[in-house]
Chain A
């Protein structure tokens, strides 16, 4: 799997965490758009949708954490400080791991950001 048990980091493992954010975002948007468009009016109760959003947010966050674990491993668990600028296999791996780890952090926060409207908004107005 892309975010787990990969021996070597590459561009795909780098892109995986923000891709999880993108999929989560798209699912939230599509689910809400359908719930409101097909629900029948602005007063539709969104309780189900809010549970659905919780139900996709927790796995998304979990996947990002898994990706983060792998990224930390690729980074060498921080044994070697940045800038990782040597022309070696090791530094290439550490750099990709570190950048992926940063992207995991950003994606994690962004997933929470995107899910937050579901905490407070209860209908389709």
Chain B
């Protein structure tokens, strides 16, 4: 082909890509769902919450600067420290991981977008609404005020806590939905959306971390959601899960909270360390030493972090042998954590380090984190913790770990990735000043707290008397906090205003080797010009011609002939191309669905149940409308040419479809929440000598055997009907499919009704005792899953009637059946637990 013709063809391709992936302008900008926009909003919003929570910390430090201070009231102080912790954890640390991952992951994978862009957008809007709701409460003097871990019985009493605890529980449950949505998106993104040839042993380490953290979210967040459900039922309906006078136990909440809370520390730590794993090799000018060791560390930490939760509960009076297990695991986790540090240090020593602002932050982060890790080893030893528990020593420890392990690496990442996202570098001169202000400010603020703690100052006191050895230490801490804040403000100024005076950064400004630096700066809306085949861990170092080939559209997917947004799906281990995935475009639907879902949570907070229910129905309808128009779309042809002579199918169902994986991952999280409820039930068994307790007539309470038996048969029948329906569809019999779906709906409704009839007919009153409450909540959970199954089944029926679900195009039925596998397991385990276990006990 002559050069001029080739150039014209390329121009036309670029124009089509440009138009297909164009960011909408005007007010429609907010309908964008592409990762570049959503990731940016997400990052900016969580950074704003960080600034807000930081301002609350300054308020706390101002109050504590001198003894007997009356700057703010005890009540406002309580709200300030509670919101500070809550916001830093739930509105900053976790969301900014999701935000940065949504922003960076597609660039590292040279993907046009992640597989579920609208899900990311939905997650973002949920996060924004929930975050504003929780943070806004302080302006109405209604913020939660019982500490970020909300221990009952202080918090279960509505008179004592006002509406603050409800805002915490419902607002944050809502945000957890966003986290799980992000986890689904990121796991499927890493496993299925890598560029061709980017095998599991050559993918960037950041992807490994994202994969592990996504998995951890699925096992860590659901126990808290389960706990929130129990907590709200106690506050709103008087079901006494945590009320010792009616058979409950406040320690159960501590278990559920910390099964979430401890892994969460690693959920925020690992993604930040992941940024260092990208930064260090770039400035050491060599590949990372010990790639496999980093994988060991990430996977090992991911697992071990789930065996640590009781180390937050060493003083609750659990038997020493239980404490011993958790103490041992807490020491063991130091091994993989240390391995990561050694890998970074080894890479730095073996390479030729160049001085840079990101590395300055990285080095400072490692120094602070190592110090926090050492005090962590101290407090992991139970007898030491008995002395230090709830003192400022612990406050110092946790800030060393979180600021060294999470905040400073994130700032290193900000300096490193700013040119990629905002097209300009942050100032190195200001950066050094920011670093020293933050580094010195941090140490001046938090190092003395070790001594304030050892001298006996408990955390969360709003003031203290003078002359008991705490005065100077507190004053120094407050001064340090001001320095630290000055550093953060200077950074913020540079990030927003400072960069305006600078020129655009050159392409790949740091000379990095990984794919995120492949694109020109500023990059086009569509991401990469063409998706390259990858053959090494540092493709930009190993293949200097790669950017030219990509720019010239000589790699995969260089065009958007049909004007549809497309990205590649590849196999899990070896990234062989298997599908050209059409992803949905911009839409207001995710925002509308999030507003409606948010309304349900907010109205419930204010006890407006009927209005809340109406919004709930509207939210479900909006989600169905979004799914109907944006998922399992039937393509106009079976396959297409993606360039370089490769043809790929446009439609894939069952285990080959990304939707199936999303359902599987979501339901894994759902199972974890269910397991937490089952755990609660058995927890009550362990604390009660007689279980189930006896009723007024002296007989054991229980839902009986009749109704649970009916429910079990009907649930299994519904599940069988779904399997049959799927088989009929595969055989090409639409009539059989529809009949099976209808039968499943009827049987599921019958099963759900029978489940609720069991405790109802046997007079189990959930407000009298934790046992009937636990039975009701388990059966209610299972019945709710059947109800959701009914909605999905009716949706599949409607899709079949509309001709969108056929033998060839059967994504929906496969995904709904997958859901039913999990719903059936939930039903069987629930019924066995509530009906059969009492016979054994």
A interface residues with partner B (beta carbon < 8 Å): 10-11, 14-15, 18-19, 21-22, 25, 28-29, 32-34, 36-38, 42, 46, 49, 82-87, 89, 91-92, 94-96, 98-99, 102-103, 106-107, 109-110, 113-114, 116-118, 121, 124-125
Contact = CB atoms under 8 A, between A and B. Distances in A.
A103 B574 contact: no
A61 B53 CA distance: 46
Interface in B388-440: none
A95 B299 CA distance: 14
A38 B683 CA distance: 11
Contacts of A32: 319, 321-322, 325
Contacts of A25: 307, 325, 329
B287 A85 contact: yes
Contacts of B572: 10-11
Interface in B515-539: 534-537
A106 B319 contact: no
Interface of B: 197, 199-202, 287, 290-293, 295-296, 299-300, 302-304, 306-307, 319-325, 327-329, 331-332, 335-336, 534-537, 572-574, 686-687
Contacts of A117: 320-321, 323-325, 327-328
Contact of B324 (A11, A83, A91, A116): A116
Contacts of A118: 321, 324
Q: Give the 6 A-B CB pairs with smallest separation, nearest first.
A: A117-B324, A95-B201, A18-B303, A37-B686, A102-B296, A113-B328
Centre residue among A29, A32, A34, A85 by max chain B CB count within 10 A: A85
10 contacts: A10-B572, A29-B325, A46-B321, A84-B292, A87-B202, A92-B201, A99-B299, A114-B325, A114-B332, A124-B321
A113 B572 CA distance: 34
B501 to A, nearest CB: 41
For the residues of B in contact with A, the DSSP-based class is helix
A87 B292 contact: no
B537 A85 contact: yes
Given A22-B306, A33-B686, A95-B200, A82 B292 contact: yes
Contacts of B573: 10-11, 92
Contacts of B535: 86-87
A57 to B, nearest CB: 12
Interface centre among A19, A92, A117 (most CB of B within 10 A): A117
B303 A82 contact: no
Contacts of A98: 292
Given A28-B325, A37-B687, A46-B321, A22 B200 contact: no
Contacts of A92: 199-201, 573-574
B691 to A, nearest CB: 10
A13 B786 CA distance: 34
A14 B790 CA distance: 37
B230 to A, nearest CB: 19
A84 B287 CA distance: 12
B320 A121 contact: yes
B328 A102 contact: no
A91 B201 contact: yes
Given A28-B325, A85-B201, A114-B325, A99 B686 contact: no
A124 B319 contact: yes
